Structure 1
Amino acid sequence: MGRHENRIDPAAHPALRELAYCLRCQRSTAGLTYRQLAKRTHLSVATLNRAASGTHLPSEETVAAFMKACDATALASAAAHSKWRRARREIYSPGANKPNPELVNDKSDLSVALEALWQYAGRPSLRNMQAKAGGSVFLPASSAARIRSRKALPASRERAAAYLRACAVAPRDLSSWLNAWDKVVSTRRRLAATPWVSAFVEDLEKLVPMLTHQESTVLSTVFHHELAAMRGRSESPGTGGTSYSV
């Protein structure tokens, strides 16, 4: 079975230790040496050793290749990927909370939530996001960059779904997020159907890039109050309409 493997440092990051134990257990079950794994994965022995060391966060591709080479079951592979995402999130986005699509009411809420999804996913690179989305056709790097930095929203439902995949949103949660996108878009289209609102929205969107986040939040609040008054109905800020903070 090759040389003795170093003990995982108990002082290492807990999430990295958990991932390392997972990989080592899978290798032990498969009865493979690191040299044999290297031949199967076309990765170096050093790379594979580091992946299961507990002191280094491997790439997601390395984890996938490691598990595949060990003939891991789909359930075991999913568990390894879950541990990898947790480790990356805790290292690159400590304290990041999982956003709730049910709390999305307007454009500003959605923009903040989509950025929070990226943070919760461990701040994946644009290249990694494209791979998970299915390629640049589904999620161009420029679009992903603007969405995650709150400069734009997905231009279509399909683009929204691609971004959600890129942020490793579980299939069971996709419908809730897409419903949030639908709600924001339908509200915007309803407002845009009113001529004066459409013209006002265009003016606001030209102004927003020059504002700070605080200024745009105040502007959004004022807009909702004015809109409610002018349309003769009561509407609290943040419960409908479009926010122009991105």
Structure 2
Amino acid sequence: MGRPEGPLTGPPHRRQLACSLRELRSETATTYDAMAASAGVSAATFKRAASGAAVPKWLTVALFAVACFTAGAPHRRPVPQFAELEKQWQTARMEERGTLRLKSPRPEYIADQADLSHALHALYERAGAPPLRHVQSKGGGPVHLPLSTLARIVNRETLPADQNQYMAFIAGCSVPSDQREKWHAAYRKAFPVSTAIRKVLAEEAALLLP
């Protein structure tokens, strides 16, 4: 298994993430070299991820877990707990960015566009402030969520241009599917349809009736 790894230092949540990675490698009885060969990532990258010196990228954490599983001894391969690892990574990232005190946004408390802007910023931070291209990819790609617009949303400079773009952002920030209707309702509350528009829509709907 090679030489013992050094003691973990630094902020507590960063240490916890590194400790979890070390425990996973120990449980699967594998080496960094075997992991590197399995995942196509350098052993040095995996060693840095488990060193606790900095918070690694989420992709590195995920590949670390997969590599432990694929390169470990067959009789010592627990299924990687990605949800728990991702939660630890997100918390470590918030610790690193100084946003741990940022509360989870509650869509039912959103009353206007200012509330919505703050909530979207908080969603992004609590997702670990991942690379914008990662958010874009999870949200359906550049057609649904242009990078320039995405950057302005997370910096609280603008709001999504429409409901489709808004829901793409929600998906990109890993909001569970069973929670998205609440966020949809929050959008409708922040952007209420005027009485005049409601009347026109009602009249058009009436014309479609038999």
Shorter-chain TM range is 0.7 to 0.9
SS of the residue corresponding to residue 97 of structure 1 reads coil
Greater Cα radius of gyration, structure 1 or 2: 1
SS of the residue corresponding to residue 86 of structure 2 reads helix
Q: Aligned letter for 1:24?
A: R
* Correspondence for 1:36 among 34, 37, 52: 34
Q: CA deviation at 1:191?
A: 5.2
Aligned structure 1 segments of 4 or more residues deviating by more than 3 angstroms? 191-194
Q: For residues 182 and 102 of structure 1, what CA distance do their matches in structure 2 show?
A: 11
The residue aligned with 2:86 is 81
Percent pairwise identity: 37
**Count of aligned positions:** 189
Q: For residues 184 and 10 of structure 2, what CA distance do their matches in structure 1 show?
A: 38
Q: For residues 119 and 81 of structure 1, what CA distance do their matches in structure 2 show?
A: 13
The residue aligned with 2:129 is 123
SS of the residue corresponding to residue 79 of structure 1 reads helix
Deviates more, 1:148-157 or 1:53-62: 148-157
Q: For residues 66 and 117 of structure 1, what CA distance do their matches in structure 2 show?
A: 26
The residue aligned with 1:4 is 3
SS of the residue corresponding to residue 7 of structure 1 reads coil
Are 2:131 and 1:136 equivalent residues in the alignment? Answer: no
* Correspondence for 1:190 among 187, 194, 198: 194
The residue aligned with 1:49 is 47
Runs of 5+ in structure 1 lacking a partner? 195-246
* Correspondence for 1:90 among 88, 95, 98: 95
Runs of 5+ in structure 2 lacking a partner? 70-77, 199-210
Q: CA deviation at 1:87?
A: 0.5
The residue aligned with 1:112 is 118
SS of the residue corresponding to residue 194 of structure 2 reads helix
Q: Aligned letter for 1:51?
A: A
The residue aligned with 1:64 is 62
* Correspondence for 2:164 among 158, 161, 171: 158
Q: Is the 8 A contact 2:94 2:100 kept in 1?
A: yes
Q: CA deviation at 1:37?
A: 0.4
Q: Is the 8 A contact 1:157 1:181 kept in 2?
A: yes
Q: Is the 8 A contact 2:89 2:128 kept in 1?
A: no
Q: Is the 8 A contact 1:104 1:180 kept in 2?
A: yes
Q: Cα deviation per residue 1:125-155 (whole Å; 9 max; x = unaligned)?
A: 3223223323223321012112222232223
Q: Is the 8 A contact 1:13 1:55 kept in 2?
A: no
SS of the residue corresponding to residue 70 of structure 1 reads helix
TM-score normalised by L of structure 1: 0.70
Q: Aligned letter for 1:63?
A: V
